Amino acid sequence: MIKVGIVGGTGYTGVELLRLLAAHPQVALQVITSRADAGMPVSQMFPSLRGYVDMPFTHPDQAQLEKCDLVFFATPNGIAMQQARILLDAGVKVIDLSADFRLQDIASWEKWYGMSHACPDLVAGAVYGLPEVNRAQIKTARLVANPGCYPTAVQLGFIPLIEAGVIEPASLIADAKSGVSGAGRKAEIATLFPEAADNFKAYGVAGHRHLPEIKQGLARVLGAEVGLTFVPHLTPMIRGIHATLYGRLTREFDLQALFEQRYANEPFVDVMPAGSHPETRSVRGANHCRIAVHRPQGGNTVVVLSVIDNLVKGAAGQAVQNMNIMFALPESTALNNVPLLP
């Protein structure tokens, strides 16, 4: 059994981790930390976990995380980097769901996240946890930087085109929409129900923290810098990301076959039939990314539609997928649940 600890178990990604791990046959939950809610039964805060997670939150000072085999950080940015070194030195593997280890350029990270990095020397050894690209590195990783939600949907949509060299990499466009849970569980005016319901808006047009992460990932695939315009939007739904991606074709290619072949052996990427329009509800609660590729009017613009659940493939589900790879388990263990519909 894998002895697992979760730091920050009271947020949306934390409870999603608990939901998935509670059904994992090879996981023994050891500790779930919360500074503010220490001593409270987890099932009191999250009644959906009654009978599945029968333990209280533990104060971080009493957590004894070094006794775990693996620790997930489902915390705000800036927390994991303060604690990762101690755990790694104790032989504990770490999967960080925040952005602390995603960007290899420390100066860029400090610019976008507005703080000094506490352990820049660990960043170079962190493996970016996108299994469809870095599966081999994840297998032997000690520290995994779990990708962000927008970056997961956008990269999975663009990667086949960039690998095949069939689009102009200097003028990529990602128009993406997210459910309100992507903002986290904290109380903020913009995500209150009366503010977010019956509304649709763009935000972060001048620059969003996920932009450098997406560009870094695509540049690794290309072997050179990419040009990307990324515009996120907030939609009045709880879960889901829909990314509409645009690229300029540079040569003729069977795009449907390209995507089908690229993801033929990927258990969590579903390339839909030609002409399809994937919906966010088709992946709700599941670790799937559904993709459709279009070429409107037979022109030289390719349009890729990519949908994920931001809390699952965009966060906790991908983290469990990475854990399975790190511990040589079948990749789909505890992730075979059917999406919720309606």
The rounded distance, in Å, linking the Cα atoms of 87 and 64 is: 10
Q: What is the mean pLDDT of residues 275-302?
A: 98
Numbered ranges of CATH 3.40.50.720 in the chain:
2-125
pTM of structure = 0.97
CA distances for 126 relative to 9, 15, 96, 144, angstroms: 23, 25, 10, 6
Kindly report, residue by residue over 67-118, the tens digit of the pLDDT. Answer: 999 999 999 999 999 999 999 999 999 999 999 999 999 999 999 999 999 9
**CA distance linking residue 134 with residue 127, whole number of Å:** 8
> How does pLDDT run across 226-240, given as a tens digit for each residue?
999 999 999 999 999
pLDDT of residue 185: 87
CA dihedral over 120, 208, 245, 12, signed as positive or negative: positive
CATH number belonging to domain 2-125: 3.40.50.720
Q: What pLDDT digit, counting tens, does each position of 156-189 carry? A: 999 999 999 999 999 999 999 999 999 888 878 8
- Between CA 51 and CA 31 the distance in angstroms is 16
CB 226 within 8 A of CB 170: yes
Q: Can 289 be counted among the known catalytic residues?
A: no
Distance, CA of 149 to CA of 240 (rounded, Å): 9
Q: What is the pLDDT of residue 236?
A: 95
pLDDT band at 130 (very low <50, low <70, confident <90, very high): very high
pLDDT the model gives residue 190: 85
Q: Active site residue: 68, 119, 149, 289, which one?
A: 149
pLDDT mean across residues, the chain: 97
pLDDT confidence band for 8 (50 / 70 / 90)? very high
**What is the structure's pLDDT at 242?**
98
What residues does CATH 3.30.360.10 cover in the chain? 149-310
- pLDDT at residue 191 in the model: 87
Say if residue 342 is preceded by a cis peptide, omega within 30 of 0. Answer: yes
The answer to whether the beta carbons of residues 158 and 99 sit under 8 Å apart is no
Cα radius of gyration (the chain): 20
Q: What is the dihedral of CA 49, 52, 55, 57, to 10 degrees?
A: -40
> pLDDT for 11-69, tens place per residue?
999 999 999 999 999 999 999 999 999 999 999 999 999 999 999 999 999 999 999 99
pLDDT at position 283 over 90? yes
Q: How far apart are CA 262 and CA 95, in angstroms?
A: 26
* Confidence category of residue 321, pLDDT binned at 50, 70, 90: very high
Q: Which of 171, 146, 267 is nearest to 227 (CA)?
A: 171
User: In this structure, which CATH number among 3.30.360.10, 3.10.310.30, 3.40.50.1820, 3.40.50.1580 belongs to the domain 149-310?
Assistant: 3.30.360.10
In the prediction, which pLDDT does 80 show? 98
